[in-house]
Amino acid sequence: MAEQVNFKPGDFVVYPTHGVGKVEAIEFLEVGGERMKLFVISFDRDRMTLRVPVTKALSTGLRRVMQKKEMDQALQTLKGRARVKRSMWSRRAQEYEAKINSGDPVAIAEVVRDLFRNVGQPDQSFSERQIYEAARDRLACEVAAVDSTDLEIATLRLEELLTAA
């Protein structure tokens, strides 16, 4: 039997490809004669509900929101120097998308840092801006959950760190 994780209703969790959600309930469902225990997770931003079998939670990458220590590490990453590779944009875009969908807050912070454009820097292409905003919003959602604040305040906090760097 697969290793299980224990979340309870009200817990904030991170599903790698969707970001921060809230465990609304734990329910049982019969599928093909098998009784399955499921986490019911709502993602308010996407107006979506996801049901994840408890036995598959770890293999899907479902995890608790980061701890303060992990958040500090991710925020420290934002203060670092941008590392922009000189490879083709399509390849970099794929790498950035993979980092965002990994669910790793430090990897997401790297994308935010690398794609951030300060005043006086060249403008971003449409696709660069989309990836930047997706990464920023994903990180801000998790920072908001950790700090028990709203998304707007968390986003401002991230942008202040980026402009100060």
CA–CA distance, 52 with 139 (Å, rounded to integer)? 22
Higher pLDDT, 164 or 30: 30
Model confidence pLDDT, tens digit, residues 19-39: 899 999 999 999 889 899 999
Q: How confident is the model at residue 2 (pLDDT cuts 50, 70, 90)?
A: very low
Domain count of the chain? 2
Kindly state whether residue 1 falls inside one of the protein's structural domains: no
Which amino acid is present at 88? Answer: M
Three-state DSSP class for 140? helix
Residue 58's domain is classified under what CATH number? 2.40.10.170
Domain range holding 126?
68-164
Q: How confident is the model at residue 120 (pLDDT cuts 50, 70, 90)?
A: low
